[in-house]
Structure formats: structure tokens, C-alpha cells
Structure 1
Amino acid sequence: MSDTTPQVPNVPETGVADLGLFGKPLFQDPGARALRRVGVVDVGSNSVRMVVFDGAARSPAYFYNEKIMCALGAGMADTGHLSPEGRVRALSAMRRFSKLAEGMGLTELTAVATAAVRDATDGRAFCEEVRAQTGIKIWVIDGEEEARLSAQGVLLGWPGAYGLVCDIGGSSLEMAEISGGRVGKRVTSNLGPLKLRDIKGGAKAREAHIKEVMTGLADKMGSQRDRLFLVGGSWRAIARIDMIRRNYPLHVLHEYRMTRKSVRDTIDFIRASDMEALRVEAGVSSARASLVPYACEVLARLVKTFSPKDIAISSYGIREGMLYEQMPQRLRDRDPLIEACRFAEDKDARSPGFGRMLYNFILPLYKSAPAPRKRLIKAACLLHDVSWRAHPDYRAEVCFDNATRANLGGLKHSERIFMGLALMNRYSNKRENVRFADLFAMVDDQTRIEAEILGKAMRFGAMLWMDKVAELGELRWYPKKKELHLRLSPEMMPLFGEVAEQRFSSLAASLEAQAVVTTTKR
């Protein structure tokens, strides 16, 4: 099983309905488009957040995303009640979210509450007050259901993923096992930073408590030495600081990777740093930063206890899991990257559908390429024309930015760079770009060369643009003889003008091959 690449069905590579490598685009199906705009609210122990998803149903864009740090769970260890100040702020947030949803035309918001509301003696009264003032019904879920939804959020971005999902909130920590695209064992605990902060006895008492609880969690979950997926704002704050410590150039949290050693080093770095200065540099809120030291204590014990092979940050969690819950299985099984790229092409390209033709045209160059690489090539072809509105002088840079920083699931950071380089070369033959030099260094020389070849292949193929049902011609690649053949029909020959010829020659040169052009008979 691939470590991040979604498993896709074995289907033909051609077909009249874009059966392609990954099947017909489901976002065009009425059942899928019913999911195009979905509003969810997560009433957590530390924050209350509304997210409205929009876009391709399998890989949605964030149409709206707002978070209010309410700290509903602050002080509950002593009082048993929701924080009075937090309750006022949360009610205000829910009133605002209700109005926003009304203005967006959403028929309803799906709202869930987690540890603080389910544990507080006044949690039910709070939910009733919210419903009376806004009409929004809050579903209070237990810890295992919270773990399941968080794990489903991970599966939204990593279909077919396997490993241990660990979601840290303000008042609790949940774990869920995922394997083969399914959620397995689930557990919940009280290892949230807000609750740890209230433990009497200082650091030693917290350490003993964390160790005892984590040992119990490990007994229930068993050996979990695959990938550890970290979900939650406190983990993301630590990952941002890890990026600072490493001087990591691509500030995209989703799919960011850490090792056990880097976790230890970053925790030491945090403890030795001026937290306020570090908070500002990392762009972390004061409320979140105040919880980071407690989250570090939990993460250190978590990594020591489970010894994962590697660690991945997931920006997808319970809110994305709520969206995943509404998807039919046939939609869940789709590749989020390909579906998102198809949606982008359908929305923004000058000739939607041409990306499939372009992919089939250049595919002879990649007959022996592994499936994960063909997947990236398909995605690049779908995106090759979505940035055409950008100013010509900056179009190549816009393409690179779009591929490397856009909200795309199912992409390693190195794969983002490969696609970015390919799309940059789609619009420019220049490899030099000082602005992105630090990002180019994230992949090796061979990958950069392969991206340049792909970019030039797309750049040439786009010159043969006709109606999307027409044939582009035929490429044949003979790597042993180092010959690149282009066969064109008499009807297509007028398109092979001076610029097209130059681009074909440039593609052949990048392959260190001889360019051969022939005309087919009528």
C-alpha cells in the first residue's frame, strides 16, 4: 500500500465519458453536487468554529472559515460548569454564525459539541439556550464518536490511509485506528491542555498523570507503529514552530511531516525559547500559545509510547469528518486530488475537458511511469490552463503558487513542488526563479528535470488545441533510439506552425532526443 497515494480502481485509460485513469468526474453528478455547500459548526472546549465547504464535493474548498477562541472548558476541573465568560462568547459566536448561514443561503448548520459541553453540568442548558436564540440544534457527541469523526476527516484527505489518528482538543484527547480506509478501534481521554493546566502539583504531577493515562490508552489501542496523524490546533501550532526551527520553506501544514527526533528537538526548542516572540513569529494566537507547553508534554509521551514510523500533520479533522459522513461510499472512494483538479478545470479552464486529451496525448512519454507519478501527471494536465487569466509576465509564478499552496488533498509536499515546477514550465522555458529557489531545493535534480520535461510536453500539447473531441495527433517515444516522433493528420498540420515546431524541438531536446515529424495519410 502506498503511504499517501490514494488507491484507485483499475479502469481503462480512455473512454467517451472521461473514464480515464480515475473514472468519470462525480462532481457533475446531481447527487454529488448536492454536497457543494455544507455548513458545520464545531463547539469545542477551546474554540467555536464554523466552516462552510464549497467546491468539488470530494475535495471541498473552504468557502468560509471562522474561529472564536471561547475557552468553554476553562476552569471546569474546579467548578464543573462551563466558563461563564466562555459561555457568553460562545453564544455570541453562535448568533453570528446563524446570521452568516442565513446570508449564505444555507438551509441549516450541522453543529456538534465535544468534551466541555458533554462534561459540564450546565452543558444541556447551554445547548437549549443556543437553540432558543438561533434555532441551531447542537449534537453533543461522546469521546469515541469524536474520535471516529476526526478519523473520517483524515480519510477525506488520505483515502486508504493507515495508522493512528490522534486529535487533541481543549479538554480531551481522542485516538482512532484507521486501516484500508476504515475506522477501527477508538478511545478517549482527559489529556486536553485545559484540563492539564488545572492539575495541582505542577509539572511532576502532570507528567505522572500523562504517563498513567497514555499507558492505559496504549493498552486499549495495542501496537500502533505505522503513521501517526496529528489533528488539532495545538498540534498544528507545534508544527508551525517545527517549521521555524528547521527553516522549512513551504508553510503548508497539511501533510507536513515530522520525525520522532524532530518532535523531541522542537519541544526542547520551545522550552528554551521566548514563547511570546516565538508565538508572534509562528502566527499563533495568545490563547493557543498558552496551551502549547501542555500539548508538548502530551506529545512527548505520545511519541515515546507509540514510536510511530513517521508523523503527519492533518489539517482535516472533526469538521471535515462531518462532511465525509454525508458522502456516499462511491464518492469517498474517489481520489481527492483528481476530483479537485477536475473541478478547477471545469470552473476556470478555457476549454474544460481538454486536460484529459492532453494527458492521453503525452502519455506515451510515461508508459513505464509508476501509478503515483501518472496520477500527478494527470492532475497537472487538468490544471494546465486554469491560470490563463493571470498576467502573462506572472502566469508561470501563479501556476507554481497554485500547485504548491492551494488546498489540495492527497499530496506530499515534494509532490506539490513537482507539480508546481511542471506547471511553471508549462508557461515558461526559464528555470531560474530566485523567489522560489528555496522551494526548488526540496526535490532532487532528477525530479526537477522530470518536471521540466512534463511542463514542456504540456506546453507543446497546448499548441494543438482544437475542439475537445478532436484528435491531437500522436506522440511516440523511443527511449533506446532517443527519438521522439510526432504524427499529424493533414487536417492537423496547419496547427504545427513555427512556434509549435520550436516547442516540439525544445521538448525533444529536454529528452536528449531527435525530433521526427510525419504526416499520416488521409
Structure 2
Amino acid sequence: MTEDTTHPVEDWGAFGRTLFDDPAARALSRVGVVDVGSNSVRMVVFDGAARSPAYFFNEKVMAGLGAGFSDTGRLNPEGRVRALSALRRFARLAEGMGAAPLNVVATAAVREAEDGPAFAAEVEKQTGLRLRIVDGPQEARLSAQGVLLGWPDAEGLICDIGGSSMELAHVGGGEVGHCVTSPLGPLRLATHDDGKKGIKTEITRVMDGLVAEMGTDHKRMYLVGGSWRAIARLDMERRGYPLHVLHEYRMTPKSVFDTVKWIGTHDVPTLRSMTGIGEARMALVPLASQVLKELVRRFKPKEIAISSYGIREGLLYEQMPQTLRDRDPLIESCRFAEKKDARMPGFGRALYEFVQPLFKSERPARQRIVRAACLLHDVSWRAHPDYRHEACFDNATRANLGGLTHQERVFMGLSLLHRYKNSRSGTRLEELLGVLQPEDIKQAEILGRAMRFGAMFSAERPGSLGELRWFPKRKKLELWLNTHAQDLFGEVAQSRFKALSNALGAETEIKRKRDAA
């Protein structure tokens, strides 16, 4: 079934008509990128709705090209061999996936190494891949663009840490501002001649210059890079945080300081056993945590957010036309999922219009999540009926979705759970509800029961057969039915309408609408 086109574009406000079938967007439907970093070489192939793509393929090799660079000024010999092997594999894979030519960038290690140009030439000779060697500010810009892919309204300071460098960029108003680079990568710091004392002095010296150039007291600091994500995972472990999704995970400055101190009381094998983080990555965490502590202390962000999006996503964002960049990544992704997986693509919009009277006084951020939930209400219908409610919850809370806080993930997941099941007690998902306030849990239940009623009331657009009218001050819910829709309001529909009214704590009244002459 094709998308419903009977409604004008403005019905979806700023979201407009879907763009994933537009030729400019289809050109980005399967894009392969490779990031040749100081520590790792990673290939990602994006697929699906270009504004919020899925990861069709994602593979990383911890090559360690930058290991020992401070001593030799050259790429690590073993790292060269491993990186070339990975790139040969990636080139062949891209051809088989229809993702060639790959967009390949090389960062600090290759751009600074004496033999970096020779390595790039060897890569092209052996694989046909052309390395785009980016300078520090360009690397910072790409990372910031990756953050904008997931957070169109991002505002604050982007900080991307690699093995040999750390980049900073201002971001706000959908634009990337001033960008700088620094030598504060943990691989580089590990080779400092003066040991721990020298490392601390170097971090302080470099941070002085960064603060002078970038300013302090930013609204939010967005952390990009594997070492930051590892520290965030350790913060989750220390706090007993129930949702292990790193993207959009938030930390306070105090939490960062507490976790850095906590990391210092454990050895690397113990930390690995707690989290499953790889050996090569975990080896960088102690030094990276020192950098993060000083970064937060000196820049004084009000909040710290983890971004799983960085350079690779920035490469995709760089290729997007502005019309696509302006779209909401969550809504685009949900609309793509509905078109691909729902039984009746286009019904999500009709369902949103039907339940919207219950949420018309809600702030725009909540109405956005209501809209997303309606689009996803039916995409898990193939799951076994006994587990469909759990599949819906998992789909929302653990999916790779941009533009979604952890609280919004759990709110949407809970509403979709109640789309298929009235009760949530006794499920394995209850511990995750701790990230929500009691009033949000109640609202999610109301939304779920509203979707449950609206989705089964009719196979047609429910708004063409009846409408909900909600009077919150009087706690009264009315259902106005068209004459030719009254047979649809049978026993099961009445039961689900009652479940909705119970969730609202409302009295109900069924009224009859006169059909238009």
C-alpha cells in the first residue's frame, strides 16, 4: 500500500511529505563510509531513510595506526598491516553490497605521520580506495555534522576524542561554528616522556589554550568517540542505570567526577569484566578519563550528552541536501519503518489525528513522541502475540533512533506496550520505568490504550467514523459516532474504550453525529 496522499503537506507541519522516495534521498539510501583513525579503522554502510538511517553494515578493526607515533613520527608498522588488510576487505565488501565507491577519510595519525602520504598511496594501489586526509578543524566539523544528524537542535560544544587527537566545535542553530584540534588523544599521551606528572602538566597546558579559544559555560557538551562511550558505559555500571543505550545518555559534571574517581579504584581487567568493553578500548580509558575530568572542570558544561554519531555520520550528513537536513530524524525514521513494516502504511497519521484530542494541551515535545508512537504502533505485528508487547517496547527503547532522549524512548516503548497489552506488571521491562516520572508513566498508558482502541475501532480512517472529545477539567470523555459507524462499536471496541476511560479516570458518553446531507 502506498502512502496516503489525500492530506495536504501542512497536515504534518514542519515534517511535510516523506522524502525517502525523493531521488536526492534515494541516492543516499545505501552509502558506505570508512574512518581511518589513530586507534581503529571502521566501515559503516547506511541504509533506509537517509535522514535517520539504519546501520546495514558496521565493522571495526582496532588497528592502532597511531600507537608509538610520538616516539617515531611514523605510523605503527603492525597497525599499517592490519589497516591495509581491513581496507582490502572493506573495498571488496562494498562492491558486493552495492555501496561502492566508499567515502574514506583518514584523521590525525595519517595526516601527521611522516609516512602518511606513502600509506595513502599504498592504500589506493592495493584497494582502489582514495583516502581523504582531513585536517583537525575539518575532522571537528565532520564530528559536529554527525551530532547534527541525530540532534538537529544541538546547541553547545562538540568534543570528539580519537587515539591521537581531540577536536572541539561550536554548534547551534543547525550550524557548525568554530572548530579546533588538540593533541589530547590517549594514544599520544601514553607515550609522554615524563610519566603521570608530565601527562597531567600536558593536559593542563593544552586545556588552557582550548578554553581561551572556545569559551566556557556551554549549555551542553556532546561527547563523540569510543573512549567517551566506554566511560559512559562505566558510568551506567556505577550508577546501576537500567537502559544500556549509549546514544543520548546524559551525565552531570558531578557524575563524571564520581565515575572518573571510581575508575581509578579498579584495574582494567575488572572494568572489562563489568561491561564487556574490548581490551584495546579499555586500555585507553584511564588516560581518557583524566582528559574528560579536566575538560568538564574547565569548560563547565551544564550537562554532558553522549553521541554515538560522529565522523561517519557526518560524512553522510555532508551529502544531504538542506531539505533533508531540515527534517526531524525521529519522525522520518518512524515513517520509513511504517511504510516498510506496517500492515496499513499511512494509518499512523490517521491514528494520530484520532487520539490527538487527548494530548492537545501537551507541549510540542510530547506531541512529537505521540506522533512517533502512532507511526510505530503496528510495525511489530509479525511478532508472536504473547510477546508482541515486549517486542514493541524493545523496538522503541533499543532501536538505533536519533533525536530521542532516554526518557522519550521509555515513554514511547511503554505506550507501545499498552497498545497491545493492558497490564505492564510482571514483565521484564519494569526496571526501565524508573527513568520516568509517575505522571509520564500514566500518560504513556493513556496513549497506549488510546492507540489500542483507535487501531481496532475500524480498518478505515477512524476519524472518518467518529471522534474523541476530551474535557480534562470535567474528566469527561465523549465518543461521537457517525450513523454508519455505530455497528463498529461492538463488544470488543466497547471494552477497549472503557479501558481508555479508566486510564483517564473519566466518565464517558457516547453521542451520535448526524451524517452530512
Short-chain TM bin: over 0.9
Equivalent position of 2:12 in the other structure? 20
Indicate yes or no: 2:349 matched with 1:356.
yes
Are 1:111 and 1:138, in contact at CA under 8 Å, matched by a contact in 2?
yes
Are 1:173 and 1:191, in contact at CA under 8 Å, matched by a contact in 2?
yes
Q: Indicate which of 322, 332, 341 corresponds to 1:329.
A: 322
Equivalent position of 1:391 in the other structure? 384
Equivalent position of 2:100 in the other structure? 107
Q: Indicate which of 95, 101, 104 corresponds to 2:88.
A: 95
Equivalent position of 2:477 in the other structure? 484
1:59-458 matches, within 5 Å, as 59-458=52-451
Instruction: Show CA shifts across 1:265-306 (max 9, x none).
Output: 111111101320211221211111111111011111101110
- 1:434 is displaced (CA, Å) by 3.9
- 1:491 is displaced (CA, Å) by 2.3
Question: Could you tell me which amino acid in structure 1 is paired with residue 313 of structure 2?
Answer: E
Q: Using the alignment, how far apart are the partners of 1:302 and 1:521 within structure 2?
A: 66
Instruction: Show CA shifts across 1:97-138 (max 9, x none).
Output: 011101101231000000000011111111111111111101
- 1:465 is displaced (CA, Å) by 3.1
| SS of alignment partner, residue 483 of structure 2 | coil
Q: Which runs of 5+ in 1 are unaligned?
A: 1-13
- 1:468 is displaced (CA, Å) by 4.8
Distance 1:389 1:151, change over 3 A: same
Equivalent position of 1:43 in the other structure? 36
Distance 1:17 1:185, change over 3 A: closer
Are 2:158 and 2:224, in contact at CA under 8 Å, matched by a contact in 1?
yes
Instruction: Show CA shifts across 1:392-429 (max 9, x none).
Output: 00000111111111111111111111101100000001
Q: Using the alignment, how far apart are the partners of 1:276 and 1:109 within structure 2?
A: 36
Equivalent position of 2:3 in the other structure? none
Q: Using the alignment, how far apart are the partners of 2:283 and 2:220 within structure 1?
A: 28
Moved more, 178-187 or 475-484: 475-484
Equivalent position of 2:487 in the other structure? 494
Moved more, 259-268 or 141-150: 259-268
Q: Using the alignment, how far apart are the partners of 2:146 and 2:262 within structure 1?
A: 30
| SS of alignment partner, residue 252 of structure 1 | coil
| SS of alignment partner, residue 28 of structure 1 | coil
Moved more, 492-501 or 56-65: 492-501
Are 2:354 and 2:462, in contact at CA under 8 Å, matched by a contact in 1?
no
Instruction: Show CA shifts across 1:217-252 (max 9, x none).
Output: 111112342101000000001111111100110000
Distance 1:472 1:88, change over 3 A: farther
Instruction: Show CA shifts across 1:302-351 (max 9, x none).
Output: 01110100100000000000000000111111111111100000000000
Q: Using the alignment, how far apart are the partners of 1:46 and 1:398 within structure 2?
A: 36
- 1:470 is displaced (CA, Å) by 7.4
Report the number of matched residues.
509
- 1:18 is displaced (CA, Å) by 7.2
Instruction: Name segments (4+ residues, structure 1) moved above 3 Å.
Output: 14-19, 467-470
| SS of alignment partner, residue 19 of structure 1 | helix
Instruction: Show CA shifts across 1:447-499 (max 9, x none).
Output: 11111000000000011233459724211112223221111222222221110
Distance 1:18 1:423, change over 3 A: farther
Are 1:357 and 1:472, in contact at CA under 8 Å, matched by a contact in 2?
no
Are 1:112 and 1:138, in contact at CA under 8 Å, matched by a contact in 2?
yes
Question: Could you tell me which amino acid in structure 2 is paired with residue 308 of structure 1?
Answer: P
Moved more, 468-477 or 275-284: 468-477
Q: Using the alignment, how far apart are the partners of 1:415 and 1:273 within structure 2?
A: 33
| TM-score, normalisation: structure 1 | 0.96
Are 1:365 and 1:476, in contact at CA under 8 Å, matched by a contact in 2?
yes
Are 2:45 and 2:99, in contact at CA under 8 Å, matched by a contact in 1?
no
Question: Could you tell me which amino acid in structure 1 is paired with residue 135 of structure 2?
Answer: D
Equivalent position of 1:11 in the other structure? none
Q: Using the alignment, how far apart are the partners of 1:468 and 1:111 within structure 2?
A: 47
| SS of alignment partner, residue 27 of structure 1 | coil
| SS of alignment partner, residue 218 of structure 1 | helix
Are 2:465 and 2:484, in contact at CA under 8 Å, matched by a contact in 1?
no
| SS of alignment partner, residue 456 of structure 2 | helix
Q: Using the alignment, how far apart are the partners of 1:36 and 1:127 within structure 2?
A: 28
- 1:55 is displaced (CA, Å) by 1.2
Instruction: Show CA shifts across 1:64-110 (max 9, x none).
Output: 00000000011111111100000000000000001110110123100
Q: Using the alignment, how far apart are the partners of 2:133 and 2:221 within structure 1?
A: 27
Moved more, 47-56 or 19-28: 19-28
Question: Could you tell me which amino acid in structure 2 is paired with residue 296 of structure 1?
Answer: S
Distance 1:224 1:182, change over 3 A: farther
Are 1:463 and 1:495, in contact at CA under 8 Å, matched by a contact in 2?
no
Indicate yes or no: 2:509 matched with 1:516.
yes
Q: Which runs of 5+ in 2 are unaligned?
A: 1-5
Q: Using the alignment, how far apart are the partners of 1:469 and 1:100 within structure 2?
A: 47
Equivalent position of 1:471 in the other structure? 464
Q: Using the alignment, how far apart are the partners of 1:433 and 1:325 within structure 2?
A: 46
> Percent identical across equivalent pairs?
62
Are 2:351 and 2:461, in contact at CA under 8 Å, matched by a contact in 1?
no
Compute the RMSD of aligned alpha carbons.
1.3
Q: Using the alignment, how far apart are the partners of 2:234 and 2:463 within structure 1?
A: 52
Moved more, 217-226 or 88-97: 217-226
Q: Using the alignment, how far apart are the partners of 2:304 and 2:33 within structure 1?
A: 27
